[in-house]
């Protein structure tokens, strides 16, 4: 299966909001995410599910992706919050409809450094120190094996900031 | 400094040529490489040097990049041949003009599995088993540190097949 780990778009400054989780996307964040969504559509990608962090900037990013027609289904998961653990996500994935099917496409919308760390764990089995640079509205593409533990047995096929694809 | 590891374009079939090193690009390989070159130009990238494997399909790829205006300088290196070693390349780099300068941009045109393996060594210090998928005319972008051994201390910022950027 293919997993697209997408970082939320550019969000309003921390100083303006009491709670980090309430920060919405900026106009630029909205526009860039929209352009990324258009590119994914143009590439013929359809997600079986978009799973998002419950923080506002991630939810707004995920909604833009969904509204563009990339997925009929959108759900929230605490596993994708900044303190989320990949172990919990992989446990959930193993029990889900999407597990390991080679034709499954999932999008995760979340935060740094989680997206880099999760990618390193999926591909290399352990994570170092944020060696994968993913910009806001950027995408990491990871292919999970059909019949093996995804941790340490996945492949990296895409890493791009929005500017390369929009 | 930024290192762009670029895989040669689609080449003619092995059965048609006695020597693997004599295989030229196909028409499609030429066209896709040309489109990738145009994208790099559009991104404002200029290389201080394009260094290529001495095999024909790599040299042709490198020439397309150069002719498009991406670099004034093009050179061949046996380090980039299929049996080339990253250690030799890093030794050369350390003594070169380009070494560690944050403003240096280098393009390497070479082969698989070297490009994946070299990337893994630069970023994680060791390589596993071809966990980074790079298609023909695809690009890997690695940022090398200014003042540390590049092996294990570099960052990955780009991995894309041509279809995402052309």
Beta pairing, strands A139-143 & A2-7: antiparallel
Chain A residues in contact with B43 by the CB 8 A cut-off are 163-164
Which residues of A have a CB under 8 Å from any CB of B?
Answer: 39, 43, 123-124, 128, 131-133, 143, 154-161, 163-165
CB-nearest to B160 from A128, A133, A164 is: A164
Distance CA A127, CA A117 (A): 5
Predicted pLDDT of residue B118: 96
Three-class DSSP labels, chain B: CEEEEEECCCECCHHHCCCHHHCCECHHHHHHHHHHHHHHHHCCCCECEEEECCCHHHHHHHHHHHHHHHECCEEECHHHCCCCCHHHHHHHHHHCCCCCCCCCEEEEEECCCHHHHHHHHHHHCCCCCCCECCCCCCEEEEECCCCCCCCCCCEEEEEECHHHHC
When mean pLDDT is compared across A98-102, B22-26, B130-134, B157-161, the lowest value belongs to A98-102
Pairwise CB contact (< 8 Å): B157 & A155: no
Please give the ipTM for the structure prediction: 0.95
CA–CA distance, A32 with A10 (Å, rounded to integer): 8
Distance from CA of B82 to the nearest CA of A (A): 21
**Model-level pTM?**
0.96
pLDDT exceeds cutoff 60 at A134: yes
How much is the pLDDT for A7? 98
Q: Searching chain A, which residue's CA lies closest to the CA of residue B165?
A: A165
């Amino acid at each position: 299966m293919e997993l697209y780990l997408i970082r939320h778009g550019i969000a309003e400054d921390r100083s303006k909001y009491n709670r980090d989780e309430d920060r919405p996307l900026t106009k630029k964040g909205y526009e860039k995410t929209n352009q990324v969504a258009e590119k994914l559509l143009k590439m013929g990608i359809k997600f079986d599910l978009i799973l998002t962090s419950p923080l506002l900037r991630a939810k707004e990013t995920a909604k833009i992706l969904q509204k563009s027609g990339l997925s009929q289904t959108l759900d929230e998961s605490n596993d994708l919050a900044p303190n989320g653990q990949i172990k919990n996500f992989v446990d959930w994935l193993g029990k889900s409809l999407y597990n390991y099917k080679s034709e499954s496409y999932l999008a995760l919308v979340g935060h740094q450094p989680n997206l880099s760390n999760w990618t390193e764990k999926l591909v290399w089995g352990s994570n170092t120190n944020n060696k994968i640079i993913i910009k806001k509205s950027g995408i990491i593409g990871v292919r999970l094996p059909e019949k093996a533990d995804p941790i340490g047995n996945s492949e990296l096929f895409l890493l791009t900031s929005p500017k390369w694809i929009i």
